[in-house]
Structure 1
């Protein structure tokens, strides 16, 4: 049985899709339901694994079908496409954005808007330090990382140093050395031989909580 708020959320999504064909954002859902934060919307959406409206719920004529306005040669779109907007990825502890610190393997998961992630396998790390502030990466941010072992010159990567310390830096080469560059003029680059450091992933996005 739906709660009152779940019923309101379904009605709002249905009406918005009927009007525009586009799912409302979490911010719009929060305002429509008079919630204090988007985390409340996430809890409601997470509890709604449905592909059509429950029987008896009133909808506008345009929203009576569980698909978006028909477009030739395209597959039907579920009316609750917004229910798939959140993905959970592994949260592997804190990573240094200053000097390298020990990489901590965590057990928790982090809910992330799917729009922030591209193809591939991802994980998250909480940023500790301020050496990447000039790249817009702040202490306490969550770095969303795509797993990969290769990087291009200038990519922001998770670099594993000496197989036990992880750091978030720009990946560059200098002669026969690997140079990990900060994005803060108060910090110096770090230089390692190629066998001392390896790529564990490339920065794909950031999640900041207020």
Structure 2
């Protein structure tokens, strides 16, 4: 069961695809649905994707495909399509025109700093970080500024911004935001061994951090990085 806004968005995307062969930009979707920010569009798209109504085409910043329509959606009339000789089929349009590069940007909450070294407190803040939509997949995301050098062999440097998908579960080998003893957060590889939780650095100068399961809470998985060059 879709919400009214989700239903309105999928209909708008489908109409735009049928008319042009190119999915609308986040700005166009925001305006069409009368939303205040593009982050609202991102949440709607993520919800539709998780429910199997749409999918993002890989390696394309602005490319959505409608997989199925809501049951109460009105299909495009085949007769109307046949009468309009100027209408190009969706498949032909996709073949003829590659999706245009997107400059869509989403404001992601910036929740302070996180350690890539010894654990430090992840400070909750009210700031936000503009992030290209192409870097984010489905789900809810937030950003943390990296402090320290314990993950440099994974390409994560002091001053980088870690883009984190909010989740409380992760597999061994994934880079996670781990809250230690309910007060300190750190960015590390997750590993479980002999009934304990091991947080592994990516720098030979640092030792692994070993905790009991109840001492560590996964708060997200690394989804991407932003780096500012001065």
TM-score (normalised: structure 2) = 0.58
* CA displacement at 1:82 relative to structure 2: 3.3
Structure 1 distance, partners of 2:205, 2:183, is 25
> Contact 1:149/1:200 (CA < 8 Å) preserved in 2?
yes
1:176 matched to 2:206? The reply is: no
The one of 144, 147, 165 equivalent to 1:125 is 144
The one of 151, 157, 165 equivalent to 1:146 is 165
Structure 1 distance, partners of 2:31, 2:138, is 24
User: Gaps (5+ residues) in structure 2?
Assistant: 1-20, 33-86
CA distances 1:46-82 after superposition (whole Å, capped 9, x unpaired): 8xx778xxxxxxxxxxxxxxxxxx76236999x9873
CA distances 1:69-115 after superposition (whole Å, capped 9, x unpaired): x76236999x98735x1000100000000000012001100000011
Distance change in 2, residues 1:139/1:71 (3 Å): farther
Structure 2 distance, partners of 1:72, 1:203, is 39
* Structure 2 equivalent of residue 82 of structure 1: 102
The SS at the match of 2:145 is strand
Please list, as runs of the form range in 1=range in 2, the aligned pairs for 1:187-198 lying within 5 A after superposition.
Answer: 187-198=206-217
Q: RMSD value over aligned CA atoms?
A: 2.9
1:205 matched to 2:224? The reply is: yes
1:72 matched to 2:89? The reply is: yes
Distance change in 2, residues 1:200/1:71 (3 Å): farther
TM-score (normalised: structure 1) = 0.63
The SS at the match of 1:98 is coil
Residue correspondences, number:
147
1:103 matched to 2:109? The reply is: no
The one of 146, 160, 165 equivalent to 2:179 is 160
User: Gaps (5+ residues) in structure 1?
Assistant: 1-20, 23-44, 52-69
Structure 1 distance, partners of 2:172, 2:100, is 41
Please list, as runs of the form range in 1=range in 2, the aligned pairs for 1:27-42 lying within 5 A after superposition.
Answer: none
